[in-house]
Structure 1
């Protein structure tokens, strides 16, 4: 199963969520990728995102460039999980063919709200966002396993 995480610029939340899922699901057939709805070509993850993933998961995303959400990425994905309702609605409107597989990560995980965008914030905010994503991704993985979508 291929899961695509989507946020705004693809430099904080969605790369973090993808790496968490890839780490948690390494023994099952689930692969995560990430993209943004409005990226700046050539942009790299924020220093705080890089540092967090290195500290928490021992993963280096230092050279990972932001990726734009595209038809090709949406076709490859079995499910698309966005960090906000704005991103979900944007994808559903711009790419209506894929609307049945697009959810916010929170609605798919069975909780309310969206994921805080830590961009430009303190390390503490990044840490809280990471913890929030860790919990949500764990719930997503549990749901995928329970529904036998693998």
Structure 2
């Protein structure tokens, strides 16, 4: 499978995800940035965290291109803004663009399905004059928070611990991603 990770400048989060994924799988993996320059090395924080984890990184930044988008079977962004920008810019590729968290996390899809059902339930409760409306609205607020929290934190400019936390967050979702992708390929 060809997987493309996308962030803003392609020096922190997406190269970190690319390096971890290459270290743990045999999938074809690349990364790019929406506003990336060409040929920048990964940030010092990214390189240091990966070095501490025993993961090699030989990275040169690159911008998102039509060719990369076509190459990828799956495009995983670090934020909802990245996702939405790519969907607007590359409408032919919408079906393969997700945030890393929303694609990898099985709870996201479940929360989305529950939210659609809750909206329907709310409309029917309002029509019936049901006293459960407030409880349903509370459930909707909770589910909306679940599906809106899909960004990987940006460590840019932070200290080593900031990069370490981002590494742990990415590694956690990549473990879920690997499991999901491997199950689909079986």
Question: In the alignment, what sits opposite 2:24?
Answer: 24
1:109 Cα shift?
1.1
User: Can you list the C-alpha shifts for 1:24-47, whole angstroms capped at 9, x where unaligned?
Assistant: 113xxx121100000123322111
Which residue among 23, 38, 42 is the counterpart of 1:45? Answer: 42
Measure the CA separation in 2 of the matches of 1:58 and 1:37.
25
- Mapped pair 1:134 → 2:158: no
* Structure 1 residue ranges (4+ consecutive) displaced by more than 6 angstroms after TM superposition: none
Which residue among 62, 80, 90 is the counterpart of 1:67? Answer: 62
User: Can you list the C-alpha shifts for 1:60-101, whole angstroms capped at 9, x where unaligned?
Assistant: 33xx22110111001110000000000000000011111110
Report the secondary structure of 2:53's partner residue: helix
Question: In the alignment, what sits opposite 1:55?
Answer: 52
Q: Give structure 2 stretches of 5+ with no counterpart.
A: 109-148
* TM-score calculated relative to the size of structure 1: 0.91
The answer on whether the counterparts of 1:48 and 1:123 sit within 8 Å (CA) in structure 2 is yes
Measure the CA separation in 2 of the matches of 1:140 and 1:58.
18
Measure the CA separation in 1 of the matches of 2:85 and 2:5.
14
The structure with the greater share of residues assigned to helix is: 2
Tell me: higher relative CO, structure 1 or 2? Use CA pairs within 8 A at least 6 residues apart: 1
* TM-score calculated relative to the size of structure 2: 0.74
RMSD: 1.3
Q: Give structure 1 stretches of 5+ with no counterpart.
A: none
Give the structure with higher Rg (CA): 2
- Mapped pair 1:92 → 2:87: yes
Report the secondary structure of 1:43's partner residue: coil
Report the secondary structure of 1:10's partner residue: coil
The answer on whether the counterparts of 2:23 and 2:55 sit within 8 Å (CA) in structure 1 is no
Tell me the matched-pair count: 144
Tell me which moved more, 110-119 or 32-41: 110-119
